Structure 1
Amino acid sequence: MEQEQVGIKTPEYVSLQFKLAGLGSRATAFLIDSAILMVANLLMYVIAFVILTGEMVLFDTSSISLFLFGIIIIMMFVIYWGYFIAFEFFSGGRTIGKKLIGIRVIQDNGHSLTLLSSFIRNLLRIIDALPGSYLVGIFMIFFHPQHKRVGDLVAGTIVVHERKAQSKKSLSPVEKEISRRGLAKHDLDLGEWALDSLGAKDWKLIKTYGNRLSGLTAHERSALTKQTADILFGKLGMDMSEKEQVELENALLVLYLHMKDEWEYEL
């Protein structure tokens, strides 16, 4: 079941193929995340206990005030739900466990996970955890054709495998061009939320541009570069009218690097 594929047609009418993450990979990622949270909660308990009591007699709750105990419970709740929501939203649908296993959460339409979707799918862990040991979630992931738990159904999300690194594979034309020019992501400063305005259609455009660039005549290169830059940087709200031809080309190639991390999944 781990090898099943799902096809998605984005709002931009681009067809994408993803390899679904099944029960095994999702459970392993969750166990890693749970271990991290367990260590974080234990450290929080120890620090709070030592600060307020000055003693190292752990788990002796008789010496801890009810107020401190209440704060610890609230903090554990915040850390547990905040961990999943924050990491999934700010790290492209990946918690630490998901990143180590090579899976990520995305929207049903192939777009990046939104903050609201992350909040909903993680809040509904309460239902997926019923009646204990995530029994509802396990059954849902195992039997649902897209391996969705209740949180995924309500939030409109799926969990997919990421592209695996392919060593010694020949570089694509755009990657060769980027390497030849010595470009890197830090060469183009984008705002934190800038890429949210670009979609799958824009990814297809920048990828096509990069792969065609080296084979064009000077006139064709100039025209295609200006047209592509006007479309993409216009959406980003960046004025590139004063840039020279080579600067525009470099900016577009670096933009390709930024978008690659977001859009190039395992096909």
Structure 2
Amino acid sequence: MDEGIVTGEGVLLDARPASFASRALGAVIDLLLLGVVGFIAVMVLVATGAVSSDQGARIVGVVLLATGTVIVPTTVETLTRGRSLGKLIAGIRIVRDDGGPIVFRQAFVRALVGVGELWAAGGSVALISSMVHPQGKRIGDMLAGTYAVRVRGKAPRRDVLPMPPHLARWAQDADIARLPDGLALSARQFVLRAGRLHPASRVELGSELTAQVQRYVRPLPPPGTHPESFLVAVLAERRTRELEAQLRAASRDSREAALLHRLPHGVPDPVD
């Protein structure tokens, strides 16, 4: 079962690490494309006489090497936010460890380290690192704080938490508006994964999350309420209120949009 990626805060991200095969496919496509572009560039330089001397050939070689191994990969990953043509075809993207898009610094570190682990070592270092690391990271990813995620494939199923019937009335009147999003997400991930946890860990983590959530809920549930039932009730009611708020906002936006299209001063709208 695909568990996704868990951050240091215990939050499960939707992004799933890309497989080694997907990363290899993207790298091969990028390499072939870079080789074609480099070949065309060399042919143009030869035709224009830019490499007529040995010194000129050496200078052009160094420039092409630096461009192909560092400048082009850095520029492409920065402009595309981690998605070159090869990665696009393979259905993967390079992102930061927190799931956000990469910037110039991460792209540059990846390309610079890649000179050694990809080009100088023939890809052997990156191959071993990707196979050993649980998220398929190569050394450049470790130093840059990035990893490759899958952006295609079957979307993960979203389980809807049912409201415990005996807590429905209490939840409707409870004040849960101050519950932080991060804490709510952690509680949701715990509830969904509780059946797969060790019993002792399940009790410990459930009690800890319940104590944290109770600080933001008033009044507290009836005495004797099971911690997991309390968490499910809070999350289910929170979801219901968020959906209702979204529906009200959509309705309000529709009314305001209709008013903006009406003529001022009571002038009737033209009839088509």
Pairwise CA distance, 1:112:
0.7
Distance 1:116 1:101 in 2: 24
Q: Displacement of 1:136 after TM fit?
A: 1.0
Q: Shift in Å at residue 35 of structure 1?
A: 0.6
1:44 to 41, 44, 47: 41
Aligned AA (1:84): P
Is contact 1:29–1:98 with CA below 8 Å preserved after alignment? yes
The C-alpha deviation readout for 1:22-65, integer Å capped at 9, x for no partner, is 22111111111111111111111100111127xxxxxxx7x544
Q: Is 2:234 aligned against 1:245?
A: no
Determine the structure 2 residue equivalent to 1:100. 89
What is the Cα deviation at residue 9 of structure 1?
7.0
Post-superposition shift, 1:131? Answer: 6.3
Residue of structure 2 equivalent to 1:216:
247
Q: Please state if 1:7 is matched with 2:18.
A: no
The TM-score with structure 1 as length reference comes to 0.56
Query: Contact 2:137/2:147 (CA < 8 Å) preserved in 1?
Result: yes
Cα shift at 1:4 = 6.4
* Amino acid across the alignment from 2:247: L
Taking the TM superposition and a 5 Å limit, the aligned residue runs for 1:1-267 are 5-8=4-7, 15-52=12-49, 63-129=52-118, 132-164=121-153, 212=243, 216-217=247-248, 221-222=251-252, 245-246=256-257
For CA contacts below 8 A with separation 6 or more, give which structure has more relative contact order. Answer: 1
Corresponding residue of 2:212: none
Contact residue 127 and residue 150 of structure 1 kept, 8 A: no
Q: What's the CA shift for 1:77? A: 1.7
Structure 1, unaligned stretches of length 5 or more? 54-60, 167-199, 226-243, 250-267
**Aligned 8 A contact 1:9 1:15 in 2:** no
The runs of 5 or more residues in structure 2 that have no matched partner are 156-180, 186-238, 261-272
Percent identical among aligned pairs is 23
Change (3 A) 1:96 1:68: same
CA distance in 2, matches of 1:71, 1:130: 18
**Partner amino acid for 2:147?**
I
RMSD of the alignment, in Å?
3.8
Once the 2 structures are TM-superposed, how far is the Cα of residue 122 of structure 1 from its aligned partner?
A: 1.4
**Residue of structure 1 in register with 2:195 after alignment:** none
Give the direction of change, closer, same or farther, for the CA distance of 1:28–1:163 in structure 2 (3 Å limit): closer
SS of the equivalent of 2:15 reads strand
- The DSSP-based 3-state class of the residue aligned with 1:104 is strand
SS in 2 for 1:216: helix
TM-score, normalisation: structure 2: 0.55
* Counterpart Cα distance in 2 of 1:25 and 1:83: 21
Question: Partner amino acid for 2:49?
Answer: L
Q: How far does residue 214 in structure 1 lie from its aligned partner after superposition?
A: 11
Counterpart contact for 1:105–1:113, Cα < 8 Å: yes
Distance in 2 (CA, whole Å) between partners of 1:25 and 1:221 is 44
- Kindly indicate whether the alpha-carbon contact (under 8 Å) linking 2:70 and 2:115 is maintained by their aligned counterparts in 1: no
Q: Secondary structure at the match of 1:129?
A: helix
| Cα distance in structure 1, aligned partners of 2:37 and 2:251 | 53
- Shifted more, 76-85 versus 43-52: the winner is 76-85
SS in 1 for 2:47: helix
Q: Match of 1:175? A: none
Which structure would you say has the larger Rg?
A: 2
Looking at structure 2, the residues matched to 215 and 52 of structure 1 have their Cα atoms a distance apart, in angstroms, of: 65
Question: 1:68-112: CA deviations, max 9, x gaps?
Answer: 441243133213322211121111211110000000000001111
Determine helix, strand or coil for the equivalent of 2:6.
strand
